[in-house]
Amino acid sequence: MDVTKAVVYRNMRAFAARPVANVIPMVFPLMFFATFAGGFSRLSDLPAFEQAFGSNYVTFQFAFVWLQASAFQGMFSGFGIARDYESGFARRMMLAAPNRYGILSGYLVGTLMRSMLGAAIVFSVGRLAGARFAGGIVDTVLLVSSGFMLTALASLWSAGVALRFRSIQAGPLMQMPIFIVIFLSPVFLPLAAMTGWIKQPARINPFTVFIEEARNFLTGRDARGFLLFVVAMATLAVLSTWAVRGLRSAERAG
């Protein structure tokens, strides 16, 4: 716990010193929001869209943008770890920490705390753009919680990559799998309204459960929080193992 608190304290000091830099993970998702919600809004006229979703297209895209922004927050956590290794600071932490798992958990907790600013930005922009929150308080809490869970999952993935390579040059390896998983999902249409080859990978994509349930939380209908919890816990177990093995790889490297 002492190690975790020390790493969190350092990360929050860095956050306070450069708050603008921590808004960068929000830039691309908000650009996508403006592009998709405006450029593809006529898709809401399709009968299949109305039957499968039942709200406006801004609300539909808001769920995607919220989860994408959450994933990006976690992804940028790996960039921070890689930069700490390149500067030599991470190796000093490894020498000083009696329990090095605290380093990993410190980065994770720090990322979750910083992501609260991102959540405030995304939800404020969504409300101003016309996103409708038809669900109740419980649905809204579950919507926010699903985003923070995705931040944790993306953080564990990128941390595992950063700890293995210990260089910012591994950035594309942190980014590309997250981009692929996100965009092989029901981004532009509900899963029930999709056709063609992309529907099959979207059907088995774990991210599809996140995005479909987020949209259900927004509309307040057919929400299946238990399914989301099961998928999240299973993915958390896999990515936690991935990150811990990355930590052991960093320990062996010295």
CB-based contacts of 9-16 (< 8 A; 24+ apart in sequence): 10/106, 10/110, 11/80, 11/106, 11/107, 11/110, 11/111, 11/113, 11/114, 12/110, 12/113, 12/114, 15/110, 15/113, 15/114
Q: Is the pLDDT of residue 248 over 70?
A: yes
Structure tokens at 11: 């990360």
Q: Is the pLDDT of residue 76 over 70?
A: yes
pLDDT digit string (tens) for 196-243? Answer: 888 999 999 999 999 999 999 988 877 677 888 999 999 999 999 999
Structural domains in the chain (count): 1
Q: Average of pLDDT values for 22-39? A: 81
Work out the pLDDT band at 136, boundaries 50, 70, 90.
confident
Instruction: List phi, psi (to 5°) of 185.
Output: -145, 175
Angstrom CA distances, 133 to 60, 93, 139, stand at 11, 44, 9
What pLDDT does 56 receive? 83
What pLDDT does 223 receive? 67
Q: Which of 39-43, 146-150, 213-217, 242-246 has the lowest mean pLDDT?
A: 39-43
Domain around 203? 2-253
